[in-house]
Amino acid sequence: MEIIYYLIGIPFIAGLLCLLLPDRMRTLIWGIAFDVCLVLFVVFLYLFSDPPSPVERWFLWDNLTNLTLLGIGFFGLVIATYSYKFINNFINRYYAYLLWTLAAAIGAVVSNNLILMAVFWGILAITLYLMVGLGGPDASYPAKKTFIIVGGSDSFLILGIALLWVLTGCINITDINLQIDRWLGACAFLCFICASFAKAGVMPLHTWIPEISESVPVPVIAFLPASLDKLLGIYLLARVCLNLFSYHESLWFLLRLVGAITIIGAVFLALIQHNMKKLLAYHAVSQVGYMVVGIASGNPIGICGGLFHMINNAIYKCCLFLGAGSVEKQSGSTDLDNLGGLAKNLPLTFLSFMFASFAISGIPPFNGFFSKWMIYQGLIEGSKNGEPSWILWIIMALIGSGLTLASFMKIIHAVFLGRHSDTIKTKDIKESHWTMVFPMVVLAILCLIFGVFFIRIPLFRLLIPVVPSIDIENIFTLILPLALLIAGIILGLLFYPLTVPKKRRIAEPFIGGEVQSEDMRPSGTEFYNTVKDLKFLRSMYHAAERKTLDFYEVCKSITMYFSEGFRSLHSGILGTYLTWILFGLITLLYVFLRW
């Protein structure tokens, strides 16, 4: 297990070296970061097939650790490659924070000792704050909000560890499997869940993700909330549900409820967004709901589906954000009203983005379809144990998938299809540099490979080692309906050309002889604006605009309200302070005398 010290120490030292080098040595800084990320990925790939001894006092290396570390190494390499041409300023700080984040993430995942894990978890909150702060003055408030939500949840993690120690007398993950039969055990469970939800971005602890989306550099969003933080948050959730605590119907029901609400709530908010990055940020929140529902299903196929969706989501969500970064880099905007018709200018970006859009929408044969199907099967399996609410979770998940597809119809039309906006017409836009395109293409291809070969590669090689008790026969039941579905799609594609006229005339729409202005261009941003007029959604959208659904803003308002009252007690008059001191001493004396 000595290799763990190198895996944590090397990126930390390399990050320190990057920080000490001046920005003008950008190629050297990038080379150091890229080489370290490449070495980490290769080592994790090797250790995946030949892992070290599984358990020590301080460290734990099992199949779940293997899976998570492989994802950490892969996405670190992807982001390091993409950032070469995207990041032009603060090069040294950016790559230093990137490498320190990788070091802390590795430490958190391999920790068997819960206190050691909490230390690395806290370092991750600091590096997250530092990376968000790279967005400049506009990112100051989002960085503070992110640190308070994610960093504040660390206090619940520490409290949960303390409660576990009180209840079990143990501090190592491998020594704990608590039966939740007391309220103190339930409190410990909920404390761990708060830390997991804040990191993964589950409602109501999700608001930091949309907040940072517009002001932070795209590689930071693609690396942290889109991929790494999802891996870490769901990793902790899996540890809590599979190792630290035994199944408890009421608490697992609560997890399924929160996951389903996250799916629906975030996707409805995504529908009305006009900024490309903010729309994707809400989908990053929505998708984590599927993972929570899958793991909380409590049976092997659902848990396997939740973990599979964790990997899939990191792949296609990272690809989508990188696509948004390519659009922003070449056009200078991510406002959907200012874009349009970029498919001809950015063909590889368009194809990669479209593949990832199909994957996140759950369209076969892409990977998102299979992980969602496994989650549905897990919920159906749960119904055999007398769980009556399974149909509700499936309906909400299916609605979420449908609305996700609707959202990406909007964004693809607004960005890549239709006519160029006046802003785009004045610019010479061409495909991004290969270091930005290559990671997107690789991720898009993985979306297809992990779907078409999902049994051979992700299922047998990645997931079954983590959840060995899964019933393979239940998974094979989807092959026949899937084959029929794909056959129908292929037949439709074959017959479609027969219905299209051979000769077509393309002309501008006639609007009474008026000259078409920019206001008359159908940009796609108004696709679903009418949903705000629906009675059952109107109040939700109004509440979101007033930020009354923002847990952070609500807590901030309550704190400020009470602080105003206490502020009046601090008048600056010495006599008032002496009175309060005397009152405190009398109170303490009274308590001690009664004791």
Model pLDDT for residues 324-377, shown as the tens digit of each residue: 999 998 888 888 888 888 888 899 999 999 999 999 998 888 999 989 988 988
> Closest Cα to residue 195, out of 152, 162, 132?
152
Using DSSP's 3-state secondary structure scheme, residue 512 falls into coil
Q: Answer whether residue 561 shows pLDDT above 80.
A: no
> Are 244 and 178 within 8 A, CB to CB?
yes
How far is 218 from 79, CA to CA, in rounded Å?
Answer: 10
Q: Answer whether residue 234 shows pLDDT above 90.
A: yes
To the question of pTM greater than 0.85 for the whole model, the response is yes
Q: Say if residue 356 is exposed, middle or buried (CB neighbours under 10 Å; 0-12, 13-18, 19+).
A: buried
Q: How much is the average pLDDT of 1-13?
A: 89
Helix ranges (DSSP H) in 112-207: 114-132, 140-146, 152-168, 183-200
Using DSSP's 3-state secondary structure scheme, residue 549 falls into coil
User: 178: which strand partners?
Assistant: 245
Give me the pLDDT at residue 522, please. Answer: 64
More confident residue, 423 or 250: 250
Residue 554 half-sphere exposure, CB side, CA atoms within 13 Å?
A: 11
Element (H, E) at 21: none
Q: Answer whether residue 562 shows pLDDT above 90.
A: no
Token match 């734990």: residue? 60
Model pLDDT for residues 118-137, shown as the tens digit of each residue: 999 999 999 999 999 998 88
Other CB atoms within 10 Å distance of the CB of residue 482:
17
> Are 336 and 274 within 8 A, CB to CB?
yes
How far is 62 from 109, CA to CA, in rounded Å?
Answer: 10
Residue type, 448: L
Give me the pLDDT at residue 90, please. Answer: 87
Sign of CA dihedral 566, 567, 568, 571: positive
Model pLDDT for residues 192-205, shown as the tens digit of each residue: 999 999 999 899 88
Model pLDDT for residues 410-419, shown as the tens digit of each residue: 899 888 887 7
User: 111: which strand partners?
Assistant: 59
> Are 336 and 415 within 8 A, CB to CB?
yes
> Closest Cα to residue 349, out of 359, 337, 357?
357
Give the largest CA-CA distance in the chain: 98
